[in-house]
Amino acid sequence: MTLEVDNSARGPMDIRRVMAALPHRYPMLLIDRVVSLVPNQSIHAIKAVSVNEPFFQGHFPTRPIMPGVLIVEAMAQAAGVLAVESMNLADSGKLVYFMSIDGAKFRSPVEPGCLMDLLVEVTQNRGAICKFSGKAMVDGKLVAEANFVAMISDPPKD
């Protein structure tokens, strides 16, 4: 399975189209919309961080901060949308699995009320396995970054 070359920009994508690309659902769906997507190259997605997120009940009740691991997960979900849309696999049942995370850095806390911009680029494409570089931004300020690898595969058989 290889990514076909199609560099025509797409977007915006609403939540219904995001949900067609990803199997995640509340409370684990961390992409609210896609601003733009260039197949096989990059995606700009948005996560609206609300005080009603379930993780804020315990992280931390008196000073709510989005867990760093969920910021990385949001970047990975953006990469998943990019891969699925690039390969025209929406509603196919294919899954995008995390394989590795490298160089994760957290620069500033993400709090309720933020609009988090997720900017992800493909750095290497080997068919079903791709490497990505991601950045999370709030108000134009870098809050987190990471490199990661993901694999597109069929779901496990029961």
Active site residues per annotation: 59
In whole angstroms, what is the distance from residue 21 CA to residue 33 CA?
Answer: 12
Characterize 87-115 residue by residue with b for buried, 16 or more Cβ atoms within 10 angstroms of its Cβ, and e for exposed. bebbeeebbbeeeebeebebeeebeeebe
In whole angstroms, what is the distance from residue 116 CA to residue 106 CA?
Answer: 13
